[in-house]
Chains A and B, each alone.
Chain A
Amino acid sequence: MKKLFMCFVLALGFIFVVSTAWAGGGGGPPKNMLKGVFVKVNKDRTADFKVDGTGEIKHLILSEHVDLEEIPLERKVLVSLITDEKTHEITNEVKSVSIMFMDLTPAKIIALLVVGLIGGLLSGFIGSGGAFVLTPSMMSLGAPGAVAVASNMCHKFPKAMVGAYKRWKYGQADIKLGLFMAATAIIGVQIGIQIQKYILNHWGNAGSNLYVSLMFVIVLVVVGIYVFLDAYKLAKGGKEAETTKIAKKLQSINLPPMIHFKTAGIKISAWFTIPVGIATGMLAATIAVGGFIGVPGLIYVIGASAMVASATELVIAFCMGMWGSIQWGLSGLIDIRLTLLILAASLIGVQLGALGTTYVKDYMIKIVMGSVMLIVAVSRGAKIPGYLADLGLRAPLDPSTASLLNSISFWALVAALGTAGIIISAAMIRGMLQARQGTN
């Protein structure tokens, strides 16, 4: 009966996700991009381009940034067009050309499998994560940015589905709470996209990058420190986590409709779950990791335990991931090879992470989450000086400093993933050994 109910709820969620994605409300790839093949490149720096899907031939002008000899004929490419700075309209001048499907060498395959495995482990344990390092990793291996984001999104929802199923079986995931949060998070995504568009129109690409990075750093540092300190106190005192004052207060306000979330053991007005869902969606639209606000929101505002919050986040990630994947798929930007290679390892990782939660105390999830958030904040913070220079708010960076900051940014992400992998594995092994000793 419980399984039948789960299938019914998932089917409803699926229909909802498909219909909203089909309605096409924003999200997805940038509008200044064309996908297709070059059929002819002329010496006067013009080219004929066959657009994918419609078959329309477009006449493009190749800007000085493009090397004529590096343009492949009859091979699928992504073309980025220049946007007019004054009118913000997209021109037919090509800014850059990138080959859509990178060649997969054994080294690249191994790199994708390793990142997938640890990303999955993190996801199964804290409910989100992995995405923040997978996209930059794919880009550094040679995938164009939009393809990396799309392929990562398409791997996120099946991984989250498997993780959510496992943690539902362990009695940790609250499906009803997850679906509620996902529905409101999708509204939050739309608001987030509108804010992004406004900033892009007024301050251009550099302004948008600066906004994203500042949001990243502020949210991650503030929430990360709070989560980390809370976990530290619990670990030191050896006490069980208590519901926060604000969550208790909100739960006591009888504002219809009051909803009972059985697994989470909470009865709260729907009006209080909505802002958390919207904030999750807005953050997802801005920094692509909504879980960094979703999980703490569920713990500290709604009053769920870290165990239930991180499991429920997987339900949200499944809905949002499927919605996003359909959108990216409509634009034809998913490289399924990359998606499947990451999935090969992350489906193992996510189940390991999920079962790992049954061996640890609640605060361990908070420790991993807080540490990851703070290290990721360092990564994004390293990008800020460059964006400030792009906006003319500080002197341009010299090439060696720029390259150093880029390295710091990338390696901090790798460090975040590595640290999380080590903490989770150590906690899990210790828990398993203790459980085994207990039975002997």
Chain B
Amino acid sequence: MKKQKAKGPLAIKTLIFGALSGLLYYLVFSNEDWITTTYTMGGWHTIYPVGTALVFSFVHGAFASNLLSLLGIEAKSSH
């Protein structure tokens, strides 16, 4: 197994990305009506859903990655 990373900085990173991800989810679901209408206008508006999915994948993906590491679930080091 890999040497365990320092838990402190990892916990802070997880907390920051988690809070950011939570904030993004809150922003989307508190403006549900505006978002569902604007995002489905078609044409160049396609950039909204595709861009949003990309932003969430970075922020929420980073949160998920840090969370798994914090829980000690990591890839086998020989790979």
Contact = CB atoms under 8 A, between A and B. Distances in A.
Given A101-B36, A336-B28, A337-B36, A53 B43 contact: yes
A413 B10 CA distance: 38
A343 B40 contact: no
A235 interface: no
Contacts of B48: 329, 336
Contacts of A339: 49, 53
Interface string B29-67: 100100111011111011111101110110011001101
Nearest to A440: B1
Contacts of B73: 352, 355, 432
Contacts of B45: 329, 332
A155 B53 contact: yes
B12 to A, nearest CB: 19
B76 interface: yes
Nearest to A159: B57
A389 B28 CA distance: 45
B53 to A, nearest CB: 5
A155 B60 CA distance: 13
Given A35-B42, A347-B57, A329 B49 contact: yes
A322 B1 contact: no
Interface in A320-347: 322, 325-326, 328-337, 339-340, 343-344, 347
B46 A158 contact: no
A322 B65 CA distance: 22
B57 A351 contact: no
Nearest to A355: B75
A359 interface: yes
A52 B42 contact: yes
B56 A351 contact: no
B76 A435 contact: yes
B31 to A, nearest CB: 11
Contacts of B46: 325-326, 328-330, 332
B57 A336 contact: no
Nearest to A359: B76
A100 interface: yes
A308 to B, nearest CB: 12
B20 to A, nearest CB: 14
A352 B75 CA distance: 9
A170 B53 contact: no
Nearest to A172: B79
A347 B60 contact: yes
Contacts of B32: 337
A377 B41 CA distance: 37
A161 interface: yes
Nearest to B65: A351
A157 to B, nearest CB: 7
B40 to A, nearest CB: 4
B75 A170 contact: yes
A354 B56 CA distance: 19
A336 B49 contact: yes
A322 B51 CA distance: 10
A344 B67 CA distance: 13
A351 B42 contact: no
Interface of B: 1, 25, 28-29, 32, 35-37, 39-43, 45-50, 52-54, 56-57, 60-61, 64-65, 67-68, 73-76, 78-79
8 contacts: A158-B56, A158-B57, A171-B79, A325-B53, A332-B46, A348-B67, A351-B61, A352-B73
Interface of A: 35, 52-53, 76, 100-101, 154-155, 157-159, 161-162, 166, 170-172, 322, 325-326, 328-337, 339-340, 343-344, 347-348, 351-352, 354-355, 358-359, 431-432, 435-436, 439
Those 9 A-B pairs whose CB atoms lie nearest each other, nearest first:
A329-B46, A158-B57, A332-B42, A332-B40, A358-B76, A355-B75, A334-B49, A358-B79, A348-B64
